[in-house]
Every structure is written in C-alpha cells, then in structure tokens.
Amino acid sequence: MNEPKGMLPTELSTAFPSTSSTEISPTLSTAYAEAASQALGVNPGAIAFSFQLPRSDFQLQVEEQFSASGITALFGPSGCGKSSLLRAIAGLEPQARGYFRLGEEYWHNDAQSLCLKPQQRPLGLVFQQAHLFPHLNVLGNLQYGLKRRGGSAASAKISLDDVIHWLDLAALLKRRTHALSGGEQQRVAMGRALLSQPRLLLLDEPLSGVDLARRQHIMPFLERLHRELDIPMILVTHQLEEVARLADWVLQMDRGQVLARGPVFSMLSRLSGQSSTPYSVLPGRVREWDQNDQLTGVETPAGLAWVPGLQAELGAHLRLLVQARQVSLALQPNPNLSILNQWPARISELKPQQQDQLVGLDVGGQTLWALVSHRAARQLQLREGQDVVAMVKSVSVLSAQE
C-alpha cells in the first residue's frame, strides 16, 4: 500500500454536505493512451485504491490507479472478486482494509481512520437486479434519485429531462415497475442512479439478468451515457462483448488479484486471443463517404477500412470488429481481388491451434488476429517478424461515438 497519505479535506461535512455531492467533476479526457503514460503519483484526475479483503476461497488484494474518466471494466470469471472490489469501493464491505481516492478526495483511508458510509459517498450503484421501489411508478423511482441527492432540481447538473431522453424512458413514466421488462427495469435503475448526481457510477453486471436480445437493446443506452457524461464508470462484467463495446480501460482479474491492465484495444488483443473465437477491435474515425458505391472509409491504425452500408458523420469515432476467420494472409498486395481491405502487417506472434494457426499481426501498433490453416502457414512459410498483407474480407461496426 504505497499510496501517499496526503492531506484529507479538513471539512468532510463540506466535501459531503448530503448523502450525495452536488458537484460534478470537471471534464476529463477519455484518451486512455495518455492516461496509461501518466506517472503513478497522487494524480488529481485519477481513481486510486488499495484493498485487502478475505473471502471464503481467496484473498482480495489489489492496488490500482487509472484515469477518472470513461469506463473501466473489471473483467474475469464469476467468483474472481470483481463484485467484492466494487462493493469495497462502495463502502459495502466493512472488513475491507486499505484506501480509496477519487481525485484528491479520500472516501476510505485506514491511515487516517476514515471510512465514509455508503450513503455519504457521492456515487451511483446499479446491481444485477434493478431493486426498484414497487410502490412507485417509473417517474417516482426517478424522482427518488433527485431527492436522495438533496438540493433543488434546478441546481442539478443531470436533469430529469436529460435522463428521460438518454435512456428513452418517456413512454414508461406512468408504468408500475412490475409491468416493466428486465431491460426496462435496468434502464430505470440507471436513470435513478444518475439523478443522484454521482461523481462515480458503479455498474455490477447490469446486463447479466436480461436475455441476449434485451442485452443488445440496452447496450446502445450505455454507449450513449458514455458519450454524454463526464462521470467515470466502473463496470463489472465477464462478457468480452461488453468490454469491446463499452470499456476504455480494462483490469483482468482472477482469484482476487489483477492479472493484467491496460487500454481496451491492447487488452482485447490479449483476451480475445485466449478465446475459442478470436477477434480484433480497432479504433477508427470516419474519413469519407462514397455515395456511388455506398461505402464508408474509416481511418484505422491498420489503414483505410471500407465498410458497406455505414452512415455516420465525418469525424465520428468508431470501434470496428474483425473476426479472425475473416482475415486471410498474402505475401504481396493483390489488386485483382474483390477484397478491398488489404493492410500491410508484420507477424508478431504464432500460436498453433488444434485445427488452425492463430497469427498475431502488428498493424500500426494494434494487434489483428488471423486464423489460417496449418497447410497455408507452411506454404507461406510464416514466421515471426515476417512482413505480410492482411486481407480483411469483412469488417463490422461494433460501436459508434460522435
């Protein structure tokens, strides 16, 4: 536990005037590549914590610091300590020892005998189950978030109208909670949490209790919150798709410890390369639109990606999904093929599989995975460090951010 003790706010009653702070942290950059290079000191724009917490089958022991912006994903198998860590941050684990700091404010610091109660911490918490109030309709549940915050509605940085718009709740306001689907209940729970004006939003597998179709319906709302809000979020998940679509920074956990950490694109290369269906996610920005051929040119680290049927504003930021089986390899570019996306690459890794050869490609500093047959690998005499051309047959848009 190397966190400098620093100076705590002299007036905690001023820092936390009610059950939730009325101040929203200033806008911070979501460029996690920059965050990764920040020195690990007392960073006023960082979330920092160290916790030790005994569990029945492991010991939670973590010490981390990352940027207080965007979405940080806690990723790992069920029972690995993700939710325990989130509960410790929320103040729901009395046995947790260590510290937690958001910016320059400590919510927990054993060195100063400080541990704010959960209701004193300016955070919003959304569980796997929505835990809505059954005696209130949707509007009543949302208004409770404003009441919990205290102060007047006019002074709220996040308004009721904002939340209704972001989460598409206008048609649900008069409905009772028992008449809502699981996905609708989670949207209301998120709205209620946001209306408490949190400085940190904790999401404990909010999509695990809904089926795949509803999960696909809710994901765009989380993406919208990511775009619209300056509030940092910590998301617990064991679904790689959620990491790929939502996260900026990833902590990979197992048995109470953090195994790896990093920006989402480099971490996805690590995580998806361990899966049975590897894929790559590339950052992109819309550069041009070909009206005649109905193709959108997206600038990526690998090169220009042509995506059919995509309509997005010029300059919009995207995440592109490339399945490893959609990537072929060649030794030279070939203009006589129908494959438009041909990117120069260098082999960084070879991982023999039972039926195929998994090839890791360095494309402009990002990892692109390709699956080729063992015969093709022998014919091309593939080796690490070799320059090749990645022939990408299909590119799909995973998420978009204006």
Least confident of 151-160, 165-174, 212-221, 244-253: 151-160
pTM of the model: 0.81
Q: What's the pLDDT tens digit per position in 126-142?
A: 988 889 999 999 999 99
Phi first, then psi: give them for residue 44, nearest 5 degrees: -65, -15
Residue with tokens 């990117």: 343
Q: How far apart are CA 178 and CA 134, in angstroms?
A: 7
- The stretch 118-122 carries a mean pLDDT of 94
The two three-digit tokens of residue 47, written as one number: 């979330």
Q: How far apart are CA 348 and CA 346, in angstroms?
A: 6
Sheet with strand 295-300: strands edge to edge = 303-308, 295-300, 279-290, 317-323, 396-401
* Per-residue pLDDT at 222: 85
Q: What's the pLDDT tens digit per position in 279-320?
A: 899 999 999 999 999 999 999 999 999 999 888 899 999 999
Within 8 A by CB and 6+ apart from 246, the residues are: 71, 73, 219, 222, 223, 226, 235, 399
* Per-residue pLDDT at 35: 38
Task: Please determine, for residue 337, whether its predicted confidence score (pLDDT) is greater than 70.
Answer: yes
Q: What's the pLDDT tens digit per position in 85-107?
A: 999 999 999 999 999 999 999 99
Contact in structure between 344 and 389 (CB atoms under 8 Å): yes
* Per-residue pLDDT at 377: 97
- How confident is the prediction for the chain on average, in pLDDT? 86
- The stretch 382-386 carries a mean pLDDT of 98
Closest CA to 86 of 112, 129, 53: 53
- The stretch 73-96 carries a mean pLDDT of 96
* Per-residue pLDDT at 2: 54
DSSP string, 132-159: --TTSBHHHHHHHHHHHH-S-GGG-SS-
* Per-residue pLDDT at 1: 56
Q: How far apart are CA 133 and CA 131, in angstroms?
A: 7
Least confident of 16-20, 94-98, 101-105, 337-341: 16-20
Q: Confidence band (pLDDT; 50, 70, 90) for 154?
A: low
Neighbours of 283 (CB within 10 A): 18
* Per-residue pLDDT at 229: 85
Phi first, then psi: give them for residue 220, nearest 5 degrees: -60, -30
* Per-residue pLDDT at 401: 62
Q: What's the pLDDT tens digit per position in 186-197?
A: 999 999 999 999
* Per-residue pLDDT at 43: 62
Q: How far apart are CA 238 and CA 277, in angstroms?
A: 16
* Per-residue pLDDT at 3: 54
- The stretch 336-361 carries a mean pLDDT of 95
